[in-house]
Amino acid sequence: MFYKLTIKDHIRVSPTLFDLPVEEAILQVVNKKYEGFISMETGIAVTVTNINEIGKGVIIPGDGASYYDTTFELISFKPEQQEIITGKIRDITDFGAFITMGPIDGMIHISQTMDDFVSFGKDKVLAGKESKRSLKVNDLCKARIIAVSFKDVANPKLGLTMRQPFLGRLDWIEEETTKKKKAPAKTSAKETKETKSKKTKAKK
């Protein structure tokens, strides 16, 4: 899920940026420092959108740079378990598919790509035996996040599934939706009994 966060940090502005307006110089420094930054608390930093407040600049003797207490807004992506994401298949291997959702990729094990027996082809295609469905690079899909690991903070791992209803390649979902709309409504045993009882009373 994407979040807009408010961050406060002590920003160092190098003398090489002194020819720029203070806000522009700080924005450059903050973007360079935070874009792509990953932590368990904030997730994956995407971009800095706005500088909210800049404190008075301080120069430390022997350094030459200016330091500013700065408050700014940051867009961050923090994956959460059970969240449904839309992404594009980036790569396919014999053990599953990698799906990119923008700031990060997730892995869908071959057993979780579809509710079927799945085989891997040399042309990098995963094919279902019974359903005849196939999954290939650049397919747009919906998947659910079922595992999130920040054990290696620099390279978080996401596990996903597409075996649940209304997940998978977008045209599969469209097919399922169409079938559900066309399927006749099922009448429960209780409703059938009540209907028969009303008909009997009507005849009397």
pLDDT in tens, 33-50: 998 899 888 899 999 999
**Does pLDDT of 67 surpass 90?**
yes
The yes-or-no answer to whether 2-77 and 84-181 have a common fold is: no
**Is residue 187 classed as helix, strand or coil in its secondary structure?**
coil
**Going by CATH, does the domain composed of 84-181 fall within 2.40.50.140?**
yes
Phi and psi, residue 16, nearest 5°: -65, -15
Is the pTM for the entire model greater than 0.85?
no
Looking at residue 64, its pLDDT comes to 87
Domain ranges of the chain: 2-77, 84-181
pLDDT mean across residues, the chain: 89
What SS3 state is found at 23?
helix
Q: Return the pLDDT at 170.
A: 95
- CATH for 2-77? 3.30.1490.120
- Give the sign of the dihedral formed by CA 106, CA 108, CA 109, CA 110: negative
pLDDT at 166: 93
Which pLDDT score is estimated for 187? 56
**Span 157-174, mean pLDDT?**
94
What's the chain's length in residues? 204
Least confident of 90-94, 146-150, 173-177: 173-177
